[in-house]
Amino acid sequence: MSTRQISVLGLESSCDETAAAVVRLTLDEAGQLAGPGDILSNQVLSQIDLHAPYGGVVPEIAARAHITHMDRLVQQALTQAEVTLDDLDGVAATAGPGLIGGVLIGLTMGKALALAANKPFIGINHLEGHALTVRMTQAVAFPYLLLLVSGGHCQLLGVTGLGQYQELGSTMDDAVGEAFDKAAKLLSLGYPGGPEIERWAKKGNPEAYPLPRPLIDRHNLDTGSGAELACEFSFSGLKTALRQKADKLAPLNDGHVSDLAASFQAAVMDCLADRTRNAMQVFRMLHNLSGEVPLVVAGGVAANQALRARLETEAGAQGYSLCAPPPALCTDNAAMIAWAGAERMAGAERMAGAEPIVDAMATPAQARWPLADVSA
Ligand code: KG4
Ligand code: ZN
């Protein structure tokens, strides 16, 4: 039986998606999630066509496109959800990390809407949006291990509660999505590179070219040196090896491209699987967890079907169960931002003496904002 519902409008503009959504969270009598959230609307405008000619996101072009389209998307999100600003409990917007011009646009518009409608405003860390998406889609309970893999991030985090994110490891160089994008560019495939590599890899032989698996088997879980590397990632050496192989084979025909894509994707999967395996052991040990623990994968790269299948197997072997949002909610969207806002409003209500949430009006825009720095 439900006792309280929280409806939030969310805005996202930190990279190359302009997005607005309305989401409703339902609490049970104990103030806990009564079940998955209701996505009342989810408007996403991708800027891929604008950036594709450059093979990557151009910040100035992204910011200009956000400002051109955000007001219309907000209007569409409210219309699709059949609500007005008055019906909402709050307004949330991404406050970082991301391209600062874009972040400022969504954040400023979110604050303005909240002020005009006299509603609380909540500034959201974009990564927290990705981290909490599975609670919106599947009502996954804390604690869980999170593999966050996107264009800008590659991290393993222990999530023990709202605002409780412990970094177990992250990339020492490129993010995994960035590695996919660079590999695709090198093979003259389209942008974004992840889906292109995945598509070409399906036609290729993953064992055609032996590529390095950086840091693999570098684990030393209980003592001494090397322990800090147990959950770290590195992709730049792999990218260089791919370039050297491609240079040697040039000019590339379709067979080369599909075999290179398949070999590259296989190497990435091995690295992600190896490090996630270490993290599953570390997380279980750190929190003395018994029984089945959720392994959550989120971020744009989580849309990759080969990765999902591989993680499913790895999770099973460690007594974990894989939970992944549907692919459309893995890539950037505003439903996850609205949801994180609703979770924060619910969290503030639960905490006696919590700061009045309207203070969030002072939230600054931040280009860099590690999730581990986000507090409850
Ligand atoms: O989360 P996201 O939409 O934006 C960021 O916050 O970065 O992630 C975008 C990244 C891009 O690098 C894109 O190439 C990658 O996710 N990606 C994929 C797939 N779909 C998107 N990578 C591998 N396989 C995919 N199917
Ligand atoms: Zn993202």
Peptide bond into 120 cis (omega under 30): no
Instruction: State the pLDDT at residue 226.
Output: 46
Instruction: State the pLDDT at residue 1.
Output: 56
Q: CB under 6 Å to ligand 1: residues?
A: 15, 150-152, 177-178, 180-181, 192-195, 198, 299-301, 303-304, 331-332
CATH architecture designation of domain 144-288: 2-Layer Sandwich (3.30)
How do strand 293-298 and strand 144-149 relate by DSSP bridges? parallel
4-132+330-373 and 144-288, same CATH topology: yes
Expressed in angstroms and rounded, the spacing between residue 338 Cα and the centre of ligand 2 is 14
Closest residue to atom 3 of ligand 1, CA basis: 331
Ligand that comes closest to the CA of residue 198: 1
Instruction: State the pLDDT at residue 229.
Output: 55
pLDDT tens track of the chain, all 376 residues?
Answer: 558 999 999 999 999 999 999 999 999 998 899 999 999 999 999 998 999 888 788 999 999 999 999 999 999 999 999 999 999 999 999 999 999 999 999 999 999 999 999 999 999 999 999 999 999 999 999 999 999 999 999 999 999 999 999 999 999 999 999 999 999 999 999 888 999 999 999 999 999 999 999 888 776 555 444 455 589 999 999 999 999 999 999 999 999 999 999 999 999 999 999 999 999 999 999 999 999 999 999 999 999 999 999 999 999 999 999 999 999 999 999 999 999 999 999 998 887 655 545 468 889 999 999 998 887 6
Beta-carbon contacts of 230 under 8 Å, excluding residues fewer than 6 positions away, are 168, 169, 218, 219, 220, 221, 275, 278, 279, 282
Instruction: State the pLDDT at residue 228.
Output: 54
With tokens 């998606």, the residue in question is: 17
CATH superfamily of 4-132+330-373: ATPase, nucleotide binding domain (3.30.420.40)
Expressed in angstroms and rounded, the spacing between residue 112 Cα and the centre of ligand 2 is 24
User: DSSP H helical segments within the chain, as ranges?
Assistant: 48-51, 59-81, 100-117, 126-138, 176-186, 193-201, 236-249, 254-286, 305-317, 335-350
How far is the C-alpha of 102 from the C-alpha of 93, rounded, in Å? Answer: 11
HSE (side-chain half, CA atoms, 13 Å) at 71: 4
pTM of the model: 0.93
Closest residue to atom 22 of ligand 1, CA basis: 194
Q: 305-317 and 193-201 helices cross at what angle (nearest 10)?
A: 80
Q: Which atom of ligand 1 is nearest to the CA of 150?
A: 8
Radius of gyration in angstroms for the set of CA atoms belonging to the chain, rounded to a whole number: 21
Whether the CB-CB separation of 163 and 366 falls below 8 Å is answered with no
Beta-carbon contacts of 150 under 8 Å, excluding residues fewer than 6 positions away, are 130, 175, 176, 177, 299, 300, 301
Mutate to test the pocket of ligand 1, among 13, 47, 180, 196 (most ligand atoms within 8 A of CB): 180
How far is the C-alpha of 282 from the C-alpha of 370, rounded, in Å? Answer: 21
Q: Which atom of ligand 1 is nearest to the CA of 331?
A: 3
Whether the CB-CB separation of 359 and 111 falls below 8 Å is answered with no
Expressed in angstroms and rounded, the spacing between residue 372 Cα and the centre of ligand 2 is 16
Q: What is the largest CA-CA distance in the chain?
A: 66
Q: Which atom of ligand 1 is nearest to the CA of 191?
A: 14
* Domain assignments of the chain as residue spans, ordered by start: 4-132+330-373, 144-288
Ligand that comes closest to the CA of residue 124: 2
